Each structure stands twice: as structure tokens, then as C-alpha cells.
Structure 1
């Protein structure tokens, strides 16, 4: 599997565009991904903030990560509407998109999800190490996503929690 994604992001969006990444508890099936694409495009085409259109982007990356991006400043109500969409997706596809304790890594060219409580074990057993690519889903902007979404575990916030990774 190739993990190139930058070419999928909108070129005409500012580097400071706000980003939200939702990681699915399982990969979406192809049929689900096609339906999800329609849901995302419908949402983006009608996304507004204080009655004005939001210049938005939405996509499913690697069959597992829903990315929403706004190149317009959005209000609390606009953000709430995006969260409502994600909750609707969860219900529709019986999938969890809010589990921040499930961490995604690239292991043997595949996306593997490890519960945070098992990361120490995964390191000790050699399943992951300091060079393993980690999906840092808390990146706040387009620029941060481009530069710091997929990073070595040793460069992530997790490094401080797991002593064997400290350099």
C-alpha cells in the first residue's frame, strides 16, 4: 500500500486551513466508502458558517481516515455541524470515529491499530519501534497535516510516554 496523500489535499487552500481527522475503528468497505464519499461531498457543498458558505474539503484517506478541512474561519455551530455528520456516519456504518485511545501505525506496509494500553507491550515485543510511522491525528492545520501527520513514533507526542523511545 502506498501512503502518499499530499496530492489529494486541495492546493488552493491556505496552509493554515483548519483540519479535523477522524480515524475509523475498522477500514470502510468499498461499498461503504462510495456511500461515505457522497455523504462527505453533500456536507461540504452545504457547510456554512453564520449563513456564509465554508470553503471546505472532505475525503476518506487510506479507507480509514475521514479528513475534514475548512479554508474559512468556522464558528462553533459550523464545527458542531461537522461533528453531527461524523456521528451520523458512526451510526450509519456501525463504526467508531471518536476513539482517541486507538492509535494507528504503519506496520509491514499496512495500517495497524493498537490500543494505547498495548503500545508499551508492542514496543517491548518488537511489533513497533521508534521508526514505526504513526498517524498523528491531532494535527490542526493543512500545513501540519502535510508535514506531521505521518511521522516516526520517536517524533510524536507518544515518545515521552514510552521511555524506550527517548533519545
Structure 2
């Protein structure tokens, strides 16, 4: 059962997928339609999930469920992954590459290979206050209140401890 993203309770579980390139407006519109169709039919063990989606910054896809209505099971999560793999094929994007990290740079999203983070910190190109799009955010509420957040407040803090 589809619910507008803004109407999901803050404790709703969220999955964040970083898109490897910005979506063009027409691609985003088509992907939004495909996502709406998917979440409308998404279920877990025969129970409809109260689910939603959002695409933000042309770079991030969010799927979310209100787990107080029905919890996503392994099978329903597998369905979502299969659906997202289809989107990857159709739109020629990558959604599951965790080797690139995204930061806000002025009004743009900048992706950085994880292997370069230490060097960028050393060079001063990334600071503790650099805004990081943490794909590990667990709930809609944390997404709304703390995203992006300073790198020093995420798992990236370890890169700034020796400075």
C-alpha cells in the first residue's frame, strides 16, 4: 500500500541507494512511476506493506516501510532488490556500488571513491564538517533531521582523529 513519503512516520525503516550519476528529469519521472507501481504492490507474506519511495538530489533513491503496519521479510526485500536490479538495467545506472561516497559540495553532489578518502582528508579537500550523504541512515526521521550530516558525525570520523 503506497503512502506519500512525507506521510511515513519517522520510525519507518529506510533503504538508501546511491545512483552513480544524476538522473535526467525525464528519467526521474519515469523511475518515479515505476517505483510507485512497485510499492503499491509490494507485500510481505501476503500482507501489504505500507511503503513509499523518494528520489532526492537526482542521486539517491529511498525505499521505506512502516514496520508497525507490516515488517519487510527476507522475501519482500529480495523482491525489492530484484526490482532495483531491473531499474539498473533499464536506466543504465548502478544502485548497489558502495565503493563511492557522496558529499555535498556547494549545491552539487560530489562522489568520491572510498579509496581516495584518506588522501582527500590529508589534502584538506574533505574536512570534519564536509556534508556526507550517509547511505546507512536507518529511519525516515533520521533522514529528515540529519541528512546529509557532517562527516565527523558518521563512520568517517576515524579519518579526522589523527588531525
TM-score (normalizing by structure 2): 0.89
Q: Which residue of 1 aligns with 2:6?
A: 10
Q: Using the TM superposition, give the Cα deviation of residue 111 of structure 1 relative to its aligned residue in structure 2, in angstroms.
A: 0.6
Q: Using the TM superposition, give the Cα deviation of residue 166 of structure 1 relative to its aligned residue in structure 2, in angstroms.
A: 5.6
Gaps of 5+ in 2: none
TM-score (normalizing by structure 1): 0.87
1:2-81 alignment, distance < 5 Å = 9-11=5-7, 13-71=8-66, 72-81=70-79
1:76-155 alignment, distance < 5 Å = 76-155=74-153
The runs of at least 4 consecutive aligned structure 1 residues that moved more than 6 Å come to none
What is the RMSD computed on CA atoms of the aligned residues? 1.7
Q: Using the TM superposition, give the Cα deviation of residue 70 of structure 1 relative to its aligned residue in structure 2, in angstroms.
A: 0.5
Q: Does the residue aligned with 1:10 lie in a helix, a strand or coil?
A: helix
2:136 & 2:144 partners in 1: Cα distance?
Answer: 12
Gaps of 5+ in 1: 1-7
Q: How many equivalent pairs are there?
A: 157
| Contact kept? 1:137, 1:149, Cα under 8 Å | no
Q: Which residue of 2 aligns with 1:4?
A: none
Q: Using the TM superposition, give the Cα deviation of residue 138 of structure 1 relative to its aligned residue in structure 2, in angstroms.
A: 0.7
| Contact kept? 1:102, 1:114, Cα under 8 Å | yes
Q: Using the TM superposition, give the Cα deviation of residue 32 of structure 1 relative to its aligned residue in structure 2, in angstroms.
A: 0.9
Higher mean displacement: 88-97 or 137-146: 137-146
Q: Using the TM superposition, give the Cα deviation of residue 109 of structure 1 relative to its aligned residue in structure 2, in angstroms.
A: 2.2
1:66 & 1:121 partners in 2: Cα distance?
Answer: 28
| Contact kept? 2:104, 2:132, Cα under 8 Å | yes
